[in-house]
Each structure stands twice: as structure tokens, then as C-alpha cells.
Chains A and B, each alone.
Chain A
Amino acid sequence: MSAVAPAVASRFELGMTRALYEWWLLIALAVVWIAASALNLIPNSVFPDAQTLARATVDLVTGKVGVLGKLTDHVWISFARFAAGYSIAAGIGILIGLLMATSSLIAALILPILRLLYPIPGLAWTPLVIMWAGIGENAVIVLIFLSAVWPIVYGAYDGFRNIPRNYMLVCRQLGATWNVRVRRVLLPAALPMLFSGLRLGHGMGWRAIVGAEMIAAVTGVGYMLNMGGELRRPDVVVVGMIVIAIMSALLDRFVFGTLEDRLISRWKR
């Protein structure tokens, strides 16, 4: 070992060590699965082996599976639906939470409704939503909205409600304008709880999208995955599952993780 090189190497090693430490079980399972695949021990009609899954992935990406269409198209469609449903959920959820926090009358009116609706899985709305909106784009977007909105409302409500009274007194005493109060005090003060509501809602939205697309759409990763089942193609189903997991994990880690580091973690303890 030289005395100079380690700076870079050790950081890489550290990262690998951490990944191994956190993911060893997953990695071990993957190794077992690949070994079993190599020995042809896995019946493909039940669960795909490694080579089948790899081939299915390539075929789906290049659009060679006929009726199933191209994976990249499905991914894009699902993502666009998610973005639409989630944005509406965020906007409306924050607004309702804010109104509830501002007025105890509004809170008293809305809280009982919220308590009733929150435990209902978003997908339980599917038959109704299909009756209202038909099969397709709008139904999926509404279902994502109905799954993601509840934790966002609660997060915003708790965030804005729990702003210490003294913060507003300080603002009044120092003569802060309303613009300054909202932008520099109220929003940042509410942010930690608001943010955890948004993050929770994000996860709920992804959970809902597969189910919603299975029933209420003829495109999207959820639809592809469902068709895989109809066609007795476990490999297609597993590819769909992995894609959903990766999409939500990437967004969660890189968008929410980065925002949290930048906006909250450096001051919150």
C-alpha cells in the first residue's frame, strides 16, 4: 500500500463496504438465484431464471414482445401519469393542510372526513373512478391522487399547525412584511413535517400506480406487468416489478434525499 493512493481508493472501498453491509442479504439472494439459474434449477413457469429475465428485459426494451409493446414507452407513460397525479395531490394536499392549520373551524369540518377516508386504500376507489372517468389516463391520475393526497394533507396540517407561536410574535415585533413571514419563516418552519408528508405520499403514489394501471389502463408498466401474468410470462412480471421499484427508489433517493439534505438535514437535529 502506498501512502498517497488511498484517498480515492479508500473512499471507493468505503462505499463498497457500506453497500455490502446494507445490502448483503439482497446480494446473497441474487448470488443464490444466479447460481441456481446457471444450474437450471429454477422452473421458468414459476419464477424466471437469470438468463430468461435478461432476455425478457432486452426484448421488452427493444419492443420484440409483440402485444406487450416497448418497455421504455410504458415507463414514460407511467412516469407522466405519476407526475400528474402526484403534483395535483401535492398542490391540493398542501392547500387543504394549510387551510386547516389556519382555521380551527375548517380543521373541525375536515378532520372527521380525513379520518374516515385515510384508511381506505387508494385502489378501493378504482371501480368508482372508472365509472366516473372511464378506462385510461384520467382514471389512473385520479387514483394516484387519491392514494398520495392523505399523508400530504396530514403533513402540511401538522407542519403549519405546529409552528411555534413565538415565531409570529418575533415577526410582528421586528415588523416583517407578509411576504417575508411566509417565505422566510412559515414555509421553512413547516417544512420538515410537510416534507415527510410529501415523501410518504410519494411512496403511496407509486404503490397505487401498478394496481391502477392493471385495472384502469391499457398502457403503462402496471398494464405490461398484468399482461405478463395473462400471457403466463413470469419474466415479464418480474421485469415490471423491478422497473417500478427502481423508478420509485431513484426518485425517493435522488429527488427527496437531495432536497432533504439541502433544505432540512443541515439545520434539523
Chain B
Amino acid sequence: MDSPASPPMIEIENVTKVFSTQDNRNLKTIDDIQLSIAQGEFICLLGPSGCGKSTLLNLIAGFETPSAGIVACAGKPVVAPGPDRGVVFQEHTLFEWMTVSNNVSFGLTCNPDIRARFPDAAGRTQACIDLVGLRGFENTFPNFLSGGMKQRAAIARSLAPDPAILLMDEPFGALDAQTRFIMQNELLKIWQTTQKTIVFVTHSIEEAVFLADRIVVMTKRPARIKEIVKLDMPRPRNINDPMLSDIKSRLYDSMASESVMI
């Protein structure tokens, strides 16, 4: 992964993001971030609520443009959102009036280019539904699915156009603890099967430690990179592993100094 031969999948070079608020003040949310993410890597962005980690994700997704610096994916600068970067949000993103199957196939049928790329949209849709374990629920409407199943469907939809990168913004944040744990395991399996590059935003240390190759700890606003913790442990990980416990307590200390009054 450190070999210079393979160029990074995501390159964030000196990126700063400033928003202007309604009363015309400038609010710096991201300050000079430098980060390089390799192909196939699982990165967790960890930081206090409201620190700007979602903004960083939106910059990679192309929903926002940097005020300074460059974000590049697969060697090309990001100028707009695109199907090469799948996004999974926390909630409220499945189209309620479409069945699971139609939600998943939406990304394969919503423009002429993508239709040409996936002539067998039905087969691809089914493969993605199978991958996330939703076989048998193809014709169910989202409102009749549990929270975990909704997120499975959302993941399937974002995977359908075969993006190189999966961007996930606290995707399991609204789930109960048990479902959350199941979904984390599912996601790791999907990641291992598909070899995607994943950037996963979370404020949960446990979640980051369980999932990531590298954890990028961010400061409170304006977000800078505080430290990057590399985890070389095989998966599935045991959350009570003493080595993980050390890392967790280190991360708790790191986060505690960044806690903000809300």
C-alpha cells in the first residue's frame, strides 16, 4: 500500500473550506487538510459532532467545492458528484415510493451513459441485493423494512453503479446497538468482497476501531487532522482485544481534549 507504484485513490491536498453564514460571517470548517487514501483502504474519519468531518466527506463526494486546495479521486480533480463515488447517508434517502429493487436499479437507469454501461440492469440489481442480504425483499417498499434493512438497501443502491469509492456519513448512527453491530460486520464482508475504497464518518470510537485500516482523528472546528492511527489487526476484530483497548483509550484521550460545549 505504501508502494509509490500505485497512485492514491483519493488525494486531499491542502484543502480548506470556508462557509459564509447568513449574517455574512465566514465560518472556517476545514483548515488545510492533507490526506492520501490508497485503493481498497478503509478509512474512518473520527471527530466530535459538528467538527467538519461530514464537510470533508461532501468535498470528496463533490457536493461542496473546496475554498482552497484540491480533492482528486483516481487522479482526477473532483468538480461534481458522480457515480464513481457512492454515498450512503445516515437516513431518509431511500425513495419511499419505489420498491427495494427499483431503488437499487435507480442508479443504473437514471441517465443514458449509465444505461449503456449496464445493459443488464436487472441482473446487476439482483446481484447487489444479494450482496447486502436482501434477497426476498426485492418488492418490498422501504417503509415496511426495519432500520437495518433500509441501510442495506441504501448500500446496495450506492454499490449498483460499481463506484470505486464508497463514502458513508454515519450510516449506522440511527440504528440500535445490536443492529449496528450486525451492520458493521456486514459492511466489512461487503468491503472484502468488493475491494472498494471506503471513507466512513463516525463519532464512535468503538465503531472506528472495529472497522478501519486507518483512523483519521480530527480536531474540533475548524477541523484539522489531529493524528492518524493505523490498525494492522485482522478482521473480524474482537472489540475487547487488549491491543484495541489501548488504542481506544488513546483515542478517548485524544477526543476528550477536543470536546466542545454544545
Contacts of B110 in A (CB 8 A): 171, 174-177, 180, 184
B245 sits at the interface (CB 8 A): no
Q: Which of B81, B82, B85, B161 has the most CB of A within 10 A?
A: B81
A2 within 8 A of B: no
A172 touches B141 (CB 8 A): no
Taken residue by residue from 71 to 107, chain B's Cβ proximity to chain A (1 for < 8 Å, 0 otherwise) reads as 0000000001111011101001101111000000011
Nearest chain A CB to B160's CB is how many angstroms away? 9
Contact A173 B106 (CB under 8 A): no
Chain B positions within 8 Å of A268 at CB level = 96, 143
The answer, among B87, B93, B106, B113, for a CB contact under 8 Å with A184, is B106
A172 touches B63 (CB 8 A): yes
Are the C-beta atoms of B85 and A164 separated by less than 8 Å? no
Q: Once the chains are docked, how many angstroms separate the CA of A164 from the CA of B91? A: 10
Tell me, in angstroms, the Cα distance from A6 to B25 when the chains sit together. 74
Q: Is the CB of A173 within 8 A of B95?
A: no
Residues of chain A lying within 8 A (CB to CB) of residue B107: 174-175
Q: Is A45 an interface residue (CB 8 A)?
A: no
> Which A155-177 residues have C-beta < 8 A from chain B?
164, 166-167, 169-177
Contact among A164, A174, A185 with B92 in the assembled complex (CB-CB below 8 Å): A164
A175 contacts B89, C-beta separation under 8 Å: no
Q: Contact between A180 and B111 (Cβ–Cβ < 8 Å)?
A: yes
The A interface is mostly helix, strand or loop, or mixed, namely: helix
B61 within 8 A of A: yes
- Is A173 a contact partner of B81 (Cβ separation < 8 A)? yes
Which of A171, A173, A188 sits near B86, CB closer than 8 Å?
A: A173
Which B-chain residue is minimally distant from A166 (CB atoms)? B93
Q: Is the C-beta of A23 less than 8 angstroms from some C-beta in chain B? A: no
For residue B122, CB closer than 8 A to chain A, the reply is: no
Contact with B along A230-269 (1 / 0, CB 8 A): 0000000000000000000000000000000000101111
Q: Does B114 contact A (CB under 8 A)?
A: yes
Interface residue count on the A side (C-beta < 8 Å): 23
Most buried by A among B63, B80, B93, B98: B93
B181 within 8 A of A: no
Interface string of A179-204 (1 = CB under 8 A from B): 01000110011010000000000000
Contact B113 A175 (CB under 8 A): yes
Bound complex: CA A214 to CA B143 (Å): 48
Indicate whether A174 sits within 8 Å of B106 (C-beta atoms), given known contacts A166-B93, A167-B93, A269-B144: yes
CA distance A268 to B87 in the complex (A): 25
What residues of chain B lie closer than 8 Å to A185, measured between beta carbons? 95
- The one of B80, B92, B112, B142 in contact with A166, judged by C-beta atoms closer than 8 angstroms, is B92
Is there contact, CB below 8 Å, between B89 and A169?
yes
B96–A175 contact, CB under 8 A?
no
Chain A residues lying within 8 Å of B81, measured Cβ to Cβ, are 169, 172-173, 175
A249 to B11, CA, bound (A): 63
Selected contact of B82 from candidates A173, A184, A188, A264, CB within 8 Å: A173
For the complex formed, measure the closest distance between the CB of A264 and the CB atoms of chain B, giving whole angstroms: 8
CB of B96 within 8 A of CB of A267, answer: yes
With CB as the reference atom, state the residue of chain B lying closest to A180: B110
**Are B93's CB and A170's CB within 8 A?**
yes
Neighbouring B residues of A170 by C-beta, 8 Å: 87, 89, 93, 157
The distance in angstroms between the C-alpha atoms of A264 and B82, with both chains bound, is 30
Looking at the assembled complex, report how far the CB atom of A128 sits from the nearest CB atom of chain B, in whole angstroms. Answer: 42
Among candidates B98, B144, B161, residue contacting A174 with C-beta atoms closer than 8 Å: B161
- Residues in chain B near residue A267, CB distance under 8 A: 96-98, 141-143
Contacts of B89 on A, CB cut-off 8 Å?
166, 169-170
Extra inter-chain contacts (4) besides given A172-B63, A175-B82, CB under 8 Å = A169-B93, A174-B83, A174-B157, A177-B110
Chain B residues with a Cβ under 8 A of chain A: 61-63, 80-83, 85-87, 89, 92-93, 95-98, 106-107, 109-114, 141-144, 157-158, 161
List of 4 A-B pairs having minimum Cβ-Cβ separation, nearest first: A176-B110, A174-B107, A269-B143, A267-B141
25 contacts between A and B (CB under 8 A): A164-B92, A169-B87, A169-B89, A170-B89, A173-B61, A173-B62, A173-B87, A173-B158, A174-B161, A175-B81, A175-B82, A175-B111, A175-B114, A176-B106, A180-B109, A184-B95, A184-B106, A188-B97, A189-B96, A191-B97, A267-B96, A267-B97, A267-B98, A267-B141, A268-B96
